[in-house]
Chain A
Amino acid sequence: MKKHELTEKYFGNKLSDEEFGRLEQLLEQDDQLRDGFYHELEVRRAIAHEKHSTLKKRFQELDRNTKKKTRWIPYAAAIALLISIGSIIYGSGPNYGGLYTDNFEVYPNVINLVTRGGDETENSETTAFEFYEAGNYDKATKAFDSLYKKQPKDYLLFYKGVSLLAQNRTEEGIRALESYGWDLNGSDFAIASNWYLGLAHLKQKEVDQAKTFLKKVATSESNLNDQARKLLKQLD
């Protein structure tokens, strides 16, 4: 087996014990292989750091919320001031399409962090998220849709909605996201759904509806609240 096949297998967790021993030996002997391989390990580390940052933010928020809740008052006052200044500066009519493109970004995959293993449904879920992460939103939409029909988990509908929006199928996206009571059911994706509905309505120049959704986000404790406040400021 070529040495690069060994390192490739290492990253796919596919090495046998024997092959692992061989790799270990080669790393001792081959400087070039070793340098390259350690660089690859560092790259993997950097990617994991990025991938984990969404969940870490969630935990940090959780930590904050379980501590005292009084600290937000000065911030809220400062933001209110900024909003009022902002509304004076930004007097002219906003460009809704531009605001949409400035703010739209697909939601990170927080559900399916790793590939490998599991039963059949789970694997098709993995495939759906792979399409999603690969930016193949057409296929992702179809996959999330058929999964949702089999098992109505809220996040499947959510990612279907975002996949539609990402293809500029805005009306369909709105319909999908409005077909479920996110707030009512206390969904984990309630705030994110409100955010995307706000943006989507904005794109359709339905400003009042957009504002209703964005206000919900702005008053929430999610880390999207800042962005929602800024956007609302630009709309006033």
Chain B
Amino acid sequence: MIKDQYLVDRLKRNDLKTLDKVYLTYKKEFFLFARTLNAQEEDIADIYQETIISLYENVQNGKLKKLTSTLKSYVFAIGKFKIYKHMDKTRKLYHEGQVIHISEEMQLFETEALEEQRQVLRKSWKQLGNKCQQILELFYYKGMTLDEIQEVLQYASKDVLKSQKHRCMAQLKELARERYEKA
């Protein structure tokens, strides 16, 4: 435990070598664990990488400061959640342990179609201009409020930023639509 806390503290200092070490330490065992939960073999590597990235994110955003279990149980708990989330093809929302189930009619697309949609969206994202990427990333990925973004990106007002964000989302949609039509 003390050693594990030491590793967490190293991660807090953004020590990427420690991250490598953690990644390699639990890898084999995680694969065995995932198989016992019937995860698809081809998904496990990706799920494990996402798990370690979540650990790193949680250390950075302060969700994990002091370990109350071993690091291994912590990692495996995240991993287990991700495996279930992955196997469960219905889309759900998560909020501090609560789950919203999306009603049946929302599942308009078969899983394959959804995966295709996601790929199109990822490609379209890369085409989006830098300025738009910045705004959307700060908002959706970093979870910053519009007020905070206005300050960092030095927008004249919140309304200007708001309409810029709208335009960016519209642009992204348009790029995705174009890709669909070509396909």
- Chain A positions within 8 Å of B, measured between CB atoms, are 8, 10-15, 17, 20, 24, 27-28, 34, 38-52, 55-56, 58-60, 62-63, 66, 110-118, 130-131, 133-136, 153, 155, 188
Contacts and interface: CB of A to CB of B under 8 A. Distances in A.
Interface of B: 13-14, 16-17, 19-20, 23-24, 45, 49-50, 52-53, 56-57, 60-63, 91, 93, 95-96, 98, 100, 102-103, 106, 117-118, 121-122, 125-126, 130, 134, 136-146, 152-154, 169, 172-173
B64 to A, nearest CB: 11
Contacts of A28: 103
B162 to A, nearest CB: 10
Contacts of A17: 95-96, 98
Given A43-B169, A50-B125, A117 B118 contact: no
A55 B14 CA distance: 13
A134 B134 contact: yes
15 contacts: A8-B145, A8-B146, A17-B98, A38-B91, A39-B173, A40-B140, A40-B169, A43-B136, A47-B141, A113-B56, A113-B57, A114-B57, A115-B143, A133-B137, A153-B13
Contacts of B173: 39
Given A50-B126, A131-B152, A134-B134, A11 B53 contact: no
B14 A49 contact: no
B100 A27 contact: yes
B153 A134 contact: yes
